[in-house]
Chain A
Amino acid sequence: MSKEEQKKVLKDLGSKIVHQIKKGKNPEIVFPLRNLSNIVYDQKSKTLKLGNKTGTRSFFNVAHSKKFLQTIEVASVIKDKLLESGKHSSLRDVFYMVKKTIPGTKVNLVDDQTESDKAIEDLEVMTSLSREQMHVNANKNGSIAGKVIIVDKGDTIDWSKLGSGGWAIPSNVEEITFKNVDAKYVLYMEKAAVWERLNEDKYWLKNDAIIIASQGQTTRGIRRLLQRLYEEHHLPIYVLCDGDIYGAYIYSVIKYGSIALAHASERLTIPGVKYVGITMDDIEKYDLKKHFITLDEKDYARIKQVAAYDWFKDNKEWQRQFKMMKEFKAKVEIQALSARGISFISEEYLPQKIKNKEFLD
């Protein structure tokens, strides 16, 4: 979609409202609901999608008017300040661009950033423009290393020559181009500390791999980058997480999509991704029982919840894993492998598992 088309989408949104106003109608906007009740797991595409339920927001309604105003104000700021100039800005910048006290009142148009963030998400689902297409970025997050050369904003970057820090993944990876990709697979891990271990051991060089880590949850930028490597370069993607229910969920978000971003599933999910570890079977095999962390009530509740999700419900392998979690009454971190030697993970555990194709799907 070209810049001009993107601007037109926002203009059309405004024109529809002005049309209603000129007809003397209480102006309203309709948008798909984004709560759990409107999330559907699509068996065919194996992704989470938004259902058909919609909500309506009208201006002359005491409960809606401020949100209505926020949405339109954010749309006009994005069109006028970002798309027109071709510049990008952060979520925080957008907050400050719309933040003001409405003249003659003590009311702030937005009181905190969550309100402007929400308005942007609303615009995403209403217009099907992505946040990136609206030139709004989140903070960069995560690190990457491998034998890959890319071009980003005119700069050529070699992922194999970035020392101990690696390349920091921006939230918008739409505009980077791959010059040379020399790898057999991509390994994604949920922990920055594990990435540093592998980077120091030059795992990516020895195994012809690209290694990517996030700090905490997998951001949109990382998910999109993984998807591009998968689709454009046909690289298998392997996921390495803690051996617990939260790791399983991180994996499922990459594979099937998340509840919060169900409207963006198409651009983010990777149905072919595989889970490399830590599995419950690894615990027996690598003798990790002495590094158990006991589950608490919250963990059990989450296991129950996740096991019942549509996309896990009929997956026998994963149901077996969940059952074992409950039997062990414990979870185990990736770093527990360090007890067997500091480079055990990069020299034995990962090469072995990947060579033998010991994956969960």
Chain B
Amino acid sequence: MAQTTLLGSTGKKERITAEVLAEKQQSISISEFFTKNRHLLGFDNPRKALLTTVREAVDNALDACGEMKVLPEVRVIIDEISTDKYKVTVEDNGPGIVRQQIPNIFAKLLYGSKFHRLRQSRGAQGIGISAAALYGQLTTGKPIKIISKIDPKAKAHYYELHLNTKTNEPEIMKDEEREWENKDHGTKLQIELEGKYQQGKLSVDEFLQLTAIANPEASIIYKAPGAEAIEFARASQEIPKETKEIQPHPYGVELGTLMRMLKESKASSVQGFLQQDFCRVSASVAKEICEKAGIEERTKPHAIAREEVEKIFNAIKQTKIMAPPTDCLSPIGEEQLLKGLKKEITAEFYAAVTRSPVVYRGFPFQIECAIAFGGDLPKDELARVIRYANKVPLQHQPGACALTRSIIQTAWKNYGISQSKGTLPAGPLVISVHIASVWVPFTSESKEAVASYPDIIKEVRLALQDTGRKLALYIRKNIRAREQQERIGLFEKYIPELAASLAILTGEKKSDIEEELLKILKKELKGLLVEVKEAEKTEIIGENVAYGEKQKEIDNE
């Protein structure tokens, strides 16, 4: 109906035009939509398409293992079929997928349990594996192949699927039971696609390494085209805390969402709706909201008019509501952060900080940060920045990302690291930052950069400052010991100079003064060397600095 008003003021003709238009709109096929919007979905070019495909599959694999609480074993194989065609195979040891669900998950766009729920998960960041399957289908004509096993005693299911680009429904090409030897449970999928394999920045190699850092409990075996298989070994036996699903908090809901929720609610009254469909809304809070909005609390949710929704929306803003629970988040954890970083990056010193969760506009989020310093890291380059959102590496658009901005805004000079104005710090330094949230605010649909909300910037900065202080401590101690040592050596060189000057001033013999000074040096040396020893003792070269103490909420600077 809204369209009619948009197209014209009154009259039948406009109405017909609108209907014709609507019909046309329907006939735009999904494949057309996909082709037109491939940049939004991560398939802008062949190289990125390959990365996105691997990424979607690996994210799903890790999420599946997480839900089953098994230590993930993920295999990724990329085979080159021709110069621009590749076959991606990803296998996990997750719970497997029940047979009936397989076609919908892999061959229907926007299907899946993760889309509408508020829960910290990797997969919520992509358009989904079905988009990768569709991309493969559109570029090679080949179906996605899936084999999944849910029980060691049962047989596995094997599917080959196409996506009907007109109806967005799966087309089953093959559906059979198969033996899957030596496998208790898990899923393996295979997609052929047009792509381009390249090493270096923004590559699949980089993605998997970064994934290994943030998920030290995972073992990832990876075979790139024309290379030997390598393993990103498991560095931790600890399965991350399970994430919990939470209901939306009233402060985080937008007007449009509120309208939709009211329409879809199963509650019989507005008060019931507020209580049941949101978290932290008690009967009295619900009543208060209704009162402030001037709405009878027994009104049926779907009978609420648009203007009244707005009143409810404003009433929510004016009502004091307890912050949402934060136990729904699963940070990587300081110890795990250190383990992950240590196994993939060789450095002298590591430090990590996990901050306490905080709430921004009804959404809980949590910031973590870890650094590696010194050793073989390049000394004359800008620091390497690794960004994660819900344990998934963000490789694109670093400049637009709040996480990068916070790093630039932090005064690294205070911590003994050089930094030009408005740039990243420079030196043998790797900085990794992770934001965990049920709803990560991205700058755009491509979900490549975190939006610069002040609270996020602030939390990241506090985390960076904390690790920075640890780093400064290390640098100071280290450099102090080195400098002390050098300066003691200098005394011997200074003595002739001092003796010469004093001889000029006083007329005494230079050699006499020099001799006496050397005697004093011998006497003083013991004490000075003790000083150096003390400085060295406090060094922590190559040790895991698991400064595990949690940040106190109070350290607001």
Contact = CB atoms under 8 A, between A and B. Distances in A.
Interface of A: 10-11, 13-15, 17-18, 21-22, 24-27, 59-60, 62, 65-66, 68-69, 72-73, 75-76, 79-80, 102-105, 107, 109
A103 B516 CA distance: 20
A73 B497 contact: yes
Given A24-B520, A26-B520, A105 B493 contact: yes
Residue from A11, A21, A68, A72 with most neighbouring chain B CB atoms (10 Å): A21
Given A18-B513, A72-B498, A13 B521 contact: no
Nearest to B506: A14
B493 A104 contact: yes
B487 A102 contact: no
7 contacts: A60-B491, A62-B483, A62-B484, A68-B498, A69-B498, A72-B501, A76-B504
Contact of A15 (B506, B516, B528, B531): B506
B493 A69 contact: no
Interface of B: 483-484, 487-488, 490-491, 493-494, 496-498, 500-502, 504-508, 513, 516-517, 519-521, 523-524, 528, 531
Contacts of B487: 62, 65
Contact of B516 (A10, A24, A65, A73): A24
B520 A62 contact: no
B505 A107 contact: no
B497 A69 contact: yes
Contacts of A68: 498
Contacts of A102: 490, 493-494, 497
Given A11-B505, A72-B498, 18 more contacts: A11-B506, A13-B505, A14-B502, A15-B506, A21-B516, A21-B517, A24-B520, A60-B528, A62-B487, A62-B488, A66-B490, A72-B501, A72-B502, A72-B505, A73-B501, A75-B505, A102-B494, A109-B497
Nearest to A74: B501
What secondary structure prevails in chain A residues at the interface with B?
A: helix
A14 B513 CA distance: 11
Contacts of B483: 62
Residue of B487, B491, B505 with highest tally of chain A CB at under 10 A: B505
Nearest to B496: A103
A93 to B, nearest CB: 18
Which of A10, A60, A75 is most buried by chain B, counting CB atoms within 10 A of its CB? A60
A79 B505 CA distance: 7
A65 B498 CA distance: 10
B506 A60 contact: no
A21 B520 contact: yes
B517 A18 contact: no
Contacts of B519: 24
B491 A65 contact: yes
A104 B492 CA distance: 10
A10 B491 contact: no
A18 B506 contact: yes
Secondary structure class of chain B's binding surface, majority of residues: helix
Contacts of A72: 498, 501-502, 505
Nearest to A19: B506
A18 B511 CA distance: 12
A102 B501 CA distance: 13
B520 A25 contact: yes
A22 B496 CA distance: 15
Contact of A69 (B494, B508, B521, B523): B494
A17 B508 CA distance: 12
B488 A75 contact: no
Contacts of A69: 494, 497-498, 501
B510 to A, nearest CB: 11
B157 to A, nearest CB: 71
Contact of B504 (A15, A24, A79): A79
A24 B523 contact: yes
B490 A17 contact: no
A76 B494 contact: no
A73 B504 CA distance: 9
**Across chains A and B, which 4 residue pairs bring their CB atoms closest together, nearest first?**
A14-B505, A14-B506, A62-B487, A76-B501
B520 A60 contact: yes
Contacts of A22: 516
A26 B504 contact: no
B524 A26 contact: yes
A243 to B, nearest CB: 35
Contacts of A21: 502, 513, 516-517, 520
A285 B110 CA distance: 78
Contacts of B528: 60, 62
A69 B517 CA distance: 13
B119 to A, nearest CB: 47
Contacts of B497: 69, 73, 102, 109
A142 to B, nearest CB: 35
B496 to A, nearest CB: 8
Nearest to A62: B487
Contacts of B494: 59, 65-66, 69, 102
A18 B508 contact: yes
Nearest to B484: A62
Contacts of A79: 504-505
A27 B502 CA distance: 12
B505 A76 contact: yes
A103 B507 CA distance: 23
B488 to A, nearest CB: 7
B339 to A, nearest CB: 39
A72 to B, nearest CB: 5
A13 to B, nearest CB: 7
A68 B495 CA distance: 11
Contacts of A24: 516, 519-520, 523
A105 B483 CA distance: 14
Contacts of A75: 501, 505
A76 B493 contact: no
Contacts of B506: 11, 14-15, 18
Contacts of A18: 502, 506, 508, 513
A68 B501 CA distance: 11
Contacts of A76: 500-502, 504-505
Contacts of B531: 62
Nearest to B485: A62
A215 to B, nearest CB: 31
